[in-house]
Amino acid sequence: MSALLVVGEVVTDVVARHRSPLAPATDTAARIRTLPGGAGANAACWAARSGCADVRLLARVGTDQASWHEERLRSAAVRPLLVADGDAPTATVVALVDAAAERTLVTDSGAALRLSPADWSPRLLDGVRHLHLSGYLFFAATSRETVSLAMAAARERGIPVSVDPASAGFIAELGVDRFLAAVRGADVLLPNADEATLLTGLPGAADAAVKLSRHFPLVPVTLGADGALVAAAGEVVARVPAPSVRAVDSTGAGDAFTGAFLAARLSGGDPAAAARAGCEAGARAVTRVGGRPPGE
């Protein structure tokens, strides 16, 4: 058992980098690229790039772009388990990236959140050592039911489960209590600072991580340019700085952290070493446009 199974989403990213503020009701000059993305898919690609030899991704895509996304995943050494949806297009995200490399996302979930219980089988866990769930799938009833089945099946087999909360905005829309109830039982929760503070109601990331670690065994919290911290059993057990780099696009930095963190843990790294690997991957991610590793 050595495989990492990611249940997440595949997205077509339209990344628009604009150097001047957006001008309402007229044009704003930008450099625009269309790239493969999606938090789950990105994390899977970074896990493969970080040394995990068997990475699999279950996701739902529209028939419009299924073959393109499958080819891009295979080129990243990820085994695509894609369900083609003839009734909804592939999810699309428009990422507006400003001069400070901060991004604002406009999201059309398309087929991604239509991942259904019929798409899941416990056999997908054969040979799997770790299950990772993208938090976006918890924000719609159909996909939430699917990831709940996946989590239950993993726990029956004794397979650890991690969850990336994915979006403070969507958590607020769903409701903190509903989200926490849905992810109860996860072994690793990987929020960023905004998500951690929202989930706990505490103003500081460290305090929020400590509180969350009383409910989830391991809680790495990403802090952007300040690196990451890791909490376990009600205390902060590691603080890791981020490498100093020139950021051009923060899209996918958290996904890079997640993928590298999980790969390091699967290879036997302790939480601090895994967080260092995650921060290094996140730093590499922000130096390039898009959320995938270099060369993908």
Secondary structure (H, E, C), the chain: CCEEEEECCCEEEEEEECCCCCCCCCCCCCEEEEEEECHHHHHHHHHHHCCCCCEEEEEEEECCCHHHHHHHHHHCCEEEEEEEECCCCCEEEEEEECCCCCEEEEEECCCHHHCCHHHCCHHHHCCEEEEEEEHHHHHCHHHHHHHHHHHHHHHHHCCCEEEECCCHHHHHHHCHHHHHHHHCCCCEECCEHHHHHHHHCCCCHHHHHHHHCCCCCEEEEECHHHCEEEEECCEEEEEECCCCCCCCCCCCHHHHHHHHHHHHHHCCCCHHHHHHHHHHHHHHHHCCCCCCCCCC
Flag the least confident range among 113-117, 166-170, 229-233, 262-266.
166-170
pLDDT recorded at residue 1: 52
CATH code of the domain made up of 38-64+113-286: 3.40.1190.20
pTM for the model: 0.94
Question: Residue 291 above 90 pLDDT?
Answer: no
pLDDT band at 197 (very low <50, low <70, confident <90, very high): very high
